[in-house]
Amino acid sequence: MHTSRAVGHKPGTTGHGSHTEPAWVRWLLISCAIAVISILVIIPVVNVFYQALANGFDTYRHQLLDDAETRHAIWLTLTVVPVAVVLNTIFGVAVAWAVTRFQFPGRTILIAFIDLPFAISPVVVGLMIMLMFGRLGIWGPTLEHWGIKIVFAYPGLVLATTFVTLPFVARELIPVMEALGADEETAAVSLGANGWQMFWRITLPNIRLGLLYGVILCNARAMGEFGAVRVVSGGISGETDTMPLRVEKLFQEYELPESFAVASVLTLLALVTLIAKTLLEHQTQQQLARADDEQAET
Amino acid sequence: MFISERRKFIFGALVSAGLIAVGTQWGCAPAAPTANGVGGTAARQGKTVELLNVSYDPTRELWTDLNAAFSEQYQKDAGVTVKIKPSHGSSGTQAQSILNGNAADVATLSIWSDTEQLHKGGLLKDGWEDRLPNRSLPYTSTVVMVVRKGNPKGIKEWADLVEKDGVEIVTPNPKTSGNGKLSLLAAWGSVILGGGSEEDATKFITKLYQRVPKLDTGARGATTTFSQKGVGDVHLTMESEAYLEVEEAKGQLEIVYPSISILHEPHVAVVDQVVDKKGTRDVAEAYLKSLYTPAGQEIIAKHHFRPTDPEILAKHKSDFQEIKLFALTEVVKGGWAEAQTKFFADQALFDQIVKPSNKTGK
């Protein structure tokens, strides 16, 4: 979402309003913000790491790596998430292309439907998948006949994760592609480029930062997905437990230190995502500034 | 130009790698369950058989030990490596998951009516209950009380829960938790078998649930509320859970046995439809039969479940305080089916007593 705003405005033109409010109002607002962020975000996050590392790094490592079921949960998350992200990247690019480059009946409805997974509770998403692909679901008998397992297996986990994170890439790309317009692409085609050449040489370089941004957000959300995945996983330890499910299970098994250890890894991944996102925003701004300079010179 | 070419290449490579990953994963995953599908014991010599045991919440530690013991024994006896995967959750949810296609070779659920759901859904053959010894009950349990150190509120009996001043009770929601259902029925039965009428019993459980500050959805959630968050004066829970909770609390909690409580009967069953399809019937049956062996019964006793083998039970007499245990049918004639409609269905007794303002049930 930030990218689209950054594309729309030159850096430096937003923010920094004149300080007309009295000092005490400013300080009150600032301290309120800091207090809320500390209580709700910073302290709990630090506490997760504190609890996880309370018994030293060696114990922490053992807690993460000695338990085969925990190892499997980490591995499962690392294999489910990339697939969901790739699927959503392909879908996101395709759908953003469709709605920004073509006018067709139902275009507005399509855009509205992209957002639907944001609005539906993940638990409901899980149930929806169950009602489609479960034994008693619409496709149940067919799938059983062919011996294909969707729910309570890897494909179900991918499906649930993909559904929940569907909007991220598309939502990032639509405003970017709208702002860019089709001029450069039209020029490429008129100079004899075929579809692939146009996509790889013109479109992709133009949208790559927005795309990367969407992928990062999608990835972060996919790793943390709990509700939908929980419904379709069947909770089979060492088979369909992803990291967030493992955290819950360990917690319920009174294995608090182990639970915090896995939770800390998830949090760590979230922090990495945050850093990547910030770096990317920084780069986008610099690039825009450079582009503006070049424009000013010519 | 060079840079953008290279980037293009990297992006393309990443996308193709991703696509290959998708292809292989989607291709392989469905194949996995059918891999064990063929062949009897003889054909499996030296191979690995996977069993899925879908069970209820407070049995994780028990099954971890039982599974290890069975795998070792079966390897010795039949030369087949058995890997047992566990799935735990609240009993009703687990039954739903099996009905929806979670391919459980054995179902070891908490409540008879949940297992019966599988029978109704065509997954278990008729007469499933009589196929294993002792009505398919390798172990039983009961509901006891856990109180704070020194029992400051002086709780000894069911009546004390509503008569003693300011007692706060922790118990999970009977609508979602088997443990919660049993607690309610134990309280109900204590009144009925003490000579009270159904009206007295209704009044009793109404007062009891008015003293429950928060109904957790599952048994483990209630345990956390009581032992870790420090909410409440008494926690109604299964005997096996009570021991775990007290051990975990390192002297801060103790168990109180009321003079009478309910007999919990968690049935075990081989899921016919699944094992016939996977070809795992022999292993699954051997697995459940192993629970009745002296070794299996010893493990059960170690985890504070009551062994059904009288000899092993007698051996551990000191661990299982003798109290009067009543079967559900002694207080609810129609058993679990009636208990469900009478107490736990929508707008049934439980809904009426927790929502006194709701008049539709009257």
Looking up residue B58, the CATH number of its domain turns out to be 3.40.190.10
Same domain, B271 and B260: no
For B80-125, what is each residue's pLDDT tens digit? 899 999 998 878 888 988 998 888 999 999 888 889 999 999 999 9
Domain presence at residue A14: no
d(CA A70, CA B80): 26
Strands (E), A8-161: none
Residue range B317-336: mean pLDDT, rounded: 89
State whether A86 and B19 contact (CB < 8 Å).
yes
For B189-210, what is each residue's pLDDT tens digit? 999 999 989 999 999 999 999 9
Element (H, E) at B260: strand B260-264
Same domain, B75 and B160: no
For chain B, the average pLDDT equals 83
Domain presence at residue A8: no
Question: Which parts of chain A register pLDDT below 50?
Answer: 1-15
A227 touches chain B (CB under 8 A): no
Residue B18 has pLDDT above 90, yes or no: no
Residue B360 has pLDDT above 50, yes or no: no
Same domain, B95 and B181: no
Q: Token pair of B193, please?
A: 């078998």
For B136-154, what is each residue's pLDDT tens digit? 999 999 999 999 999 999 9
Element (H, E) at A155: helix A154-164
d(CA B208, CA B143): 15
Q: What pLDDT is recorded for position A289?
A: 76
Domain presence at residue B311: no
d(CA A218, CA A162): 9
Residue B292: pLDDT band by 50, 70, 90 thresholds? very high
Same domain, A74 and A101: yes
Domain presence at residue B233: yes
State whether B89 and A137 contact (CB < 8 Å).
no
Q: What pLDDT is recorded for position B132?
A: 93
Same domain, B89 and B56: yes
Same domain, B199 and B328: yes
State whether A237 and B18 contact (CB < 8 Å).
no
Same domain, A92 and A151: yes
Same domain, A225 and A252: yes
Same domain, A158 and A252: yes
Q: Which domain holds residue B95?
A: 35-137+266-292
State whether A254 and B244 contact (CB < 8 Å).
yes
A234 touches chain B (CB under 8 A): yes
Same domain, A32 and A93: no
Same domain, B230 and B338: yes
Q: Which domain holds residue A37?
A: 20-53
Same domain, A103 and A230: yes
Q: Tell me which of A202 and B32 has the higher pLDDT.
A: A202
Domain presence at residue B9: no
State whether A144 and B101 contact (CB < 8 Å).
yes
Strands B260-264 and B81-89, how do they pair?
unpaired
Number of A:B CB contacts under 8 A? 104
Domain presence at residue B225: yes
Same domain, B279 and B170: no
Q: Token pair of A195, please?
A: 């579809």
Selecting from A136, A146, A155 the residue whose C-beta is nearest the C-beta of B29 gives A155
Q: Taking the CB of residue B31, how many other CB atoms lie within 10 A of it?
A: 11
B10 touches chain A (CB under 8 A): no
Domain presence at residue A275: yes
Domain presence at residue B7: no
CB contact at 8 A, B33 and B105? no
Same domain, A272 and A155: yes
Domain presence at residue B104: yes
3-state secondary structure of B346: coil
Selecting from B34, B60, B102 the residue whose C-beta is nearest the C-beta of A147 gives B34
Q: What pLDDT is recorded for position A200?
A: 87
Residue range B207-233: mean pLDDT, rounded: 87
d(CA B50, CA B59): 20
Q: What pLDDT is recorded for position A249?
A: 84
Q: Residue A85: closest CA among chain B residues belongs to which residue? A: B18
Domain presence at residue B359: no
Domain presence at residue B236: yes
Selecting from A144, A148, A205 the residue whose C-beta is nearest the C-beta of B4 gives A205
CB contact at 8 A, B165 and B334? no
Same domain, B238 and B329: yes
Q: What pLDDT is recorded for position B26?
A: 41
Same domain, A39 and A133: no
Residue range B33-60: mean pLDDT, rounded: 68
Selecting from A155, A204, A234 the residue whose C-beta is nearest the C-beta of B87 gives A234
Same domain, B112 and B187: no
Same domain, B197 and B149: yes
Same domain, A195 and A293: yes
CB contact at 8 A, A100 and A175? no
Same domain, A27 and A88: no
A196 touches chain B (CB under 8 A): no
Domain count, chain B: 2
d(CA B246, CA B227): 9
Domain count, chain A: 2
Same domain, B96 and B201: no
Cβ-based burial of B277 (10 A; exposed 0-12, middle 13-18, buried ≥19): middle
Same domain, A170 and A224: yes
Same domain, B114 and B147: no
Domain presence at residue A5: no
B248 touches chain A (CB under 8 A): yes
Q: What pLDDT is recorded for position B39?
A: 43
State whether B97 and A144 contact (CB < 8 Å).
no
Residue B228 has pLDDT above 90, yes or no: no
Task: Give CA B186 to chain center in angstroms.
Answer: 17
Q: Which of A83, A151, A233 to mutate to test the interface with B (most CBs of B within 10 A)?
A: A83
The CATH number of the domain where A88 resides is what? 1.10.3720.10
Handedness of CA B15, B20, B25, B26 (dihedral sign): positive
Q: What pLDDT is recorded for position B318?
A: 86
Q: Residue A240: closest CA among chain B residues belongs to which residue? A: B87
Same domain, A37 and A100: no
Selecting from A136, A149, A234 the residue whose C-beta is nearest the C-beta of B33 gives A149
For B150-197, where are the alpha helices, taking DSSP H only?
Answer: 158-163, 178-193
